[in-house]
Structure 1
Amino acid sequence: MEYRVIEIFSSIQGEGEVIGVPSNFIRLATCNLRCVWCDTKYSWEKGELISIEEIIKRLDKTLPATTITGGEPLLQNIVPLALAIKEMGQRIVVETNGTIKPHEELRKIVDVFSVSPKLSNSGHKIAYNFTDDWATYYKFVILYTRKDLEEVVRFVEENGIRKDKVIVQPDGNRKDYEIALKELAEAVMDLRLPFRVLPQLHRIISFR
C-alpha cells in the first residue's frame, strides 16, 4: 500500500500533551481545510507516493513514538500504516483537525488523538460533532485572546467535551511569541478558565 507523503523526519514533539517527547514524524499530504494562519501550507500539495515498507524503513526505531500528521492524515486510510508502526513497538500520535471521525479499528490502534478544531479565526465555520468525545485532547489556536477564548468556551459547552481535555496555545506566527503566550496565560487566569495553556516548543527552541 502507498501513501501520499510530504516528509518524514524525527524531532521533539512541540505541542499538546505529548510536548517534549522524541518522535518520528510522518507528514501526509493534502488537507480538506485552508486555514488562513496555517504554518504548513506546503502540506496542501499532493506529495510523493511512498510504500508502507519504505516509510517504515525511514523511521528511527530507537525513538519511543511516531506522529502521523498533515495536512489532514485521516483523508487517507492510515490503519495499515498504524499497524506497521505498532509492530515496531512505538506509541502512535495522530494529529488531526477533527473534521473526519476515525474508524473504531483505528481508535484501537492509535494511542493519542491530538485534535485541533478550527475556530472562526481560521477562516472556517465548521459544524463539529464531538458528542462521543473521542479525542485524547483538543488543541485550539488563539489569535484574538478574549474573543477566541469565549468561542472555545461555547465550543466546549455545545459539544459536551471535558474541560480538562482542552489546551489553548497562541498563534505560532506571531514574532513576539513569548508576549503572546504571556497574554494568553493572563487572560485564562483573569477569566477563571480551567483550560491548559501550553506553548509550541518549536517556537521557543529552534530544532528539527
Structure 2
Amino acid sequence: MKYWITEIFQSIQGEGEVIGTPSNFIRLAGCHLRCIWCDTKYSWFKYEGKEMTLDDILSQLNRNLPLTTITGGEPLLQNITPLVAAIKLELKQKVLIETSGTIRPPKKLVELVDIFSVSPKLSNAGYKFNYNFIYEKWPTYYKFVIVNPEKDLKEVAEFVRRNNINPEKVILQPDGRVNNYEEALRRLVDAVMEFGLPFRVLPQLHRLIGYR
C-alpha cells in the first residue's frame, strides 16, 4: 500500500479537543477544495507529494508520542484505513483524522479512528455546501474557522440547528491569516458572548507560541 505524502513531522496538536497534546503529523497530499483561507496550500496537489509505503511512513513516526494526526489536504481522498490500522496495531497510539466532512468515511475506518475533527466550510471559504450530518454519528467534534464573527456566527448557528448537532461538539477558532491573532481571538470571544451562543472558542495554540 502506498500513499501520497506532503510531509511527516512531530509537534503539539494545536487545535480542537486534544489541543496541546504531542503528536505525530502525517499530511497527505491532495485536496478537492480550494479554501480562501487555507494555510496549507502546498498540500493541494497530489503529485507534488512524495509516494511512500506504509513501512516508510511508520519509520518516520515517533513511537513514544500518544497521538498521530492524519491531515491534509483531504486525507479521505486516499484509502487510509490500512494506514490507520497499522498505526493502531504497531504504535498503539490514538489516531485523529482532520477532514472537511465532505467525504463520508467507510465503516471500518470509523471503527478504527479515535477522533474525527470535522471542519465544515462556511461561505467564508469560498464555497457553499449542503452538508447533511443529521444522522451522522462519526464526527467527534466540528471545528469552524471564523473570519467575520458578526456574519459567520449566524451561519454556524444555522448549520448546527439544521443538522441537529449537539452544541457541545462545536468549536470556533479565528482565521489564522490575520496579523493580530490575539485581537481576532478577543473579537470572536466578544461576539460569542454578545450573541449568547453555547459554542466553545479555542485558539490555534501553535500560532500563539510561534510553533509549527
**Cα drift, residue 133 of structure 1:** 3.7
Identity %: 62
**Aligned positions, number:** 208
Give the TM-score, by structure 2 length.
0.97
**Corresponding position of 2:109:** 106
**Corresponding position of 2:141:** 137
**Corresponding position of 2:42:** 42
Cα distance between partner residues in 1 of 2:132 and 2:25:
27
Where structure 2 has 5 or more consecutive residues not aligned to the other structure, the ranges are none
Aligned to 2:193, the other structure's residue is in SS state: helix
Cα distance between partner residues in 1 of 2:138 and 2:3:
25
Where structure 1 has 5 or more consecutive residues not aligned to the other structure, the ranges are none
**Corresponding position of 2:208:** 204
Cα distance between partner residues in 2 of 1:202 and 1:40:
14
Any residues of structure 2 matched to 1:12-161 within 5 Å, and which?
12-46=12-46, 47-87=49-89, 88-131=91-134, 132-161=136-165
Aligned to 1:35, the other structure's residue is in SS state: coil
Aligned letter for 1:122? A
Aligned to 1:82, the other structure's residue is in SS state: helix
Give the TM-score, by structure 1 length.
0.99
User: How large is the RMSD of aligned CA atoms in angstroms?
Assistant: 0.7
**Corresponding position of 1:166:** 170
Cα distance between partner residues in 1 of 2:211 and 2:189:
24
**Cα drift, residue 104 of structure 1:** 1.0
Aligned to 1:189, the other structure's residue is in SS state: helix
Shift >3 Å, 4+ stretches: none
Cα distance between partner residues in 1 of 2:125 and 2:31:
14
Aligned to 1:71, the other structure's residue is in SS state: coil
Aligned to 2:27, the other structure's residue is in SS state: strand
**Cα drift, residue 206 of structure 1:** 1.4
